[in-house]
Homo-oligomer: A and B are copies of this chain.
Amino acid sequence: MNIDSDDTDDAGPVSPALPLTSVWTRPQRRQKEQLSRERIIAETIALLDEEGIEALSMRALGQRLGAGATSLYRHVASKDELIELVVDEVYGELEVPELTDPAGWRLAMHVTAHSLRQAGLRHMWVMQVLGQVGLNYLGPNVVSVTQRGLAILTTAGFDTEEAVRAMSSVSSFVVGITSAEAGWLTALRRQGMTEQEWYQNMGPRMAADAADAGLAEIYLQELEKDPTEARLANFVYGLDLMLDSLQVRLAAKLASADEKAQATTASQ
């Protein structure tokens, strides 16, 4: 109808007082996206992925968002809360299959475990932070993952208590080994070394100390493998250790349940 206040700011030359703040010099803040919790979380994850956990400061984050450091505090209570938020966000990336056939529990556990490991390697800072935050703050995605993980084991046939124990054991293993991998890889990146270079350096250095001949040998063995695959194989080995035992216990439990059922039907 009349003046469009978006394009041409009205009454620009009318105000005679301050030529310094004209229509043109005035920062058109609304053209940059507004801050929001979602945008902050997304940018935080990007920053962490690119530059690592030690590079996360509220000032740096604000700069990437075209905002001052303290503006973030309108949307996030503290840096710690921000970290809880991004950790939960990463848990949202996990794939925890829903079980249709109870016999598929082992595959489902494999998928879940690999998914957790992959997420941890994509976002290595998560693993460094998990030890401090402990997963005890219970964001929605963490809760959801926990529930769906437990569902796998209970529909497989474990009772609730054992499902909790088993899930805790498996995820402890996954988190433990993945955070070791992540720490290792980030330490390497900090020094700008490849894994092969490290093993090449470390083998002889260990062999120099006579006592460490055993370890030196191990390091030299590592040189012949593709390190990425070797780490994956280690992971699968440990995971299968646990799943094998779970399978045995499940079979025993189902057998004894069958037996009991047969006994009661026979006695009737």
A73 contacts partner chain B, Cβ-Cβ < 8 Å:
no
Question: For residue A172, which residues in chain B have a CB less than 8 angstroms away from its CB?
Answer: 173, 176-177, 180, 238
A267 contacts partner chain B, Cβ-Cβ < 8 Å:
no
A8 contacts partner chain B, Cβ-Cβ < 8 Å:
no
A215 contacts partner chain B, Cβ-Cβ < 8 Å:
yes
Complex Cα distance, B177 from A171, in Å, reads 8
The residues in A between 131 and 148 inclusive whose CB is less than 8 angstroms from any CB of B are 131-138, 143, 146-147
A125 to chain B, nearest CB (A): 10
Complex Cα distance, B146 from A147, in Å, reads 36
A160 contacts partner chain B, Cβ-Cβ < 8 Å:
yes
Contact partner, A136, options B150, B160, B187, B237, Cβ 8 Å: B187
Contact partner, A177, options B164, B168, B215, B217, Cβ 8 Å: B168
Question: What are the interface flags for A75-97 relative to B under an 8 Å C-beta threshold, 1 for contact and 0 otherwise?
Answer: 00000000000000000000000
- Stoichiometry, as copies per complex, reads 2
Contact partner, A131, options B131, B212, B248, Cβ 8 Å: B131
Contact partner, A180, options B127, B135, B138, B187, Cβ 8 Å: B135
A72 contacts partner chain B, Cβ-Cβ < 8 Å:
no
A60 contacts partner chain B, Cβ-Cβ < 8 Å:
no
A174 contacts partner chain B, Cβ-Cβ < 8 Å:
yes
Question: For residue A176, which residues in chain B have a CB less than 8 angstroms away from its CB?
Answer: 171-177, 179
Question: For residue A131, which residues in chain B have a CB less than 8 angstroms away from its CB?
Answer: 127-132, 179, 182-183
Question: For residue A143, which residues in chain B have a CB less than 8 angstroms away from its CB?
Answer: 212, 215
A144 to chain B, nearest CB (A): 9
Complex Cα distance, B130 from A180, in Å, reads 8
Contact partner, A238, options B147, B161, B173, B244, Cβ 8 Å: B173
Question: For residue A174, which residues in chain B have a CB less than 8 angstroms away from its CB?
Answer: 176
Question: For residue A248, which residues in chain B have a CB less than 8 angstroms away from its CB?
Answer: 244
A231 to chain B, nearest CB (A): 10
Question: For residue A186, which residues in chain B have a CB less than 8 angstroms away from its CB?
Answer: 134
Question: For residue A218, which residues in chain B have a CB less than 8 angstroms away from its CB?
Answer: 160, 164
Question: For residue A179, which residues in chain B have a CB less than 8 angstroms away from its CB?
Answer: 130-131, 134, 176
Contact B146 A215 (CB under 8 A): yes
Query: Given A131-B132, A134-B179, list of 4 further CB < 8 A pairs?
Result: A134-B187, A143-B212, A160-B217, A172-B177
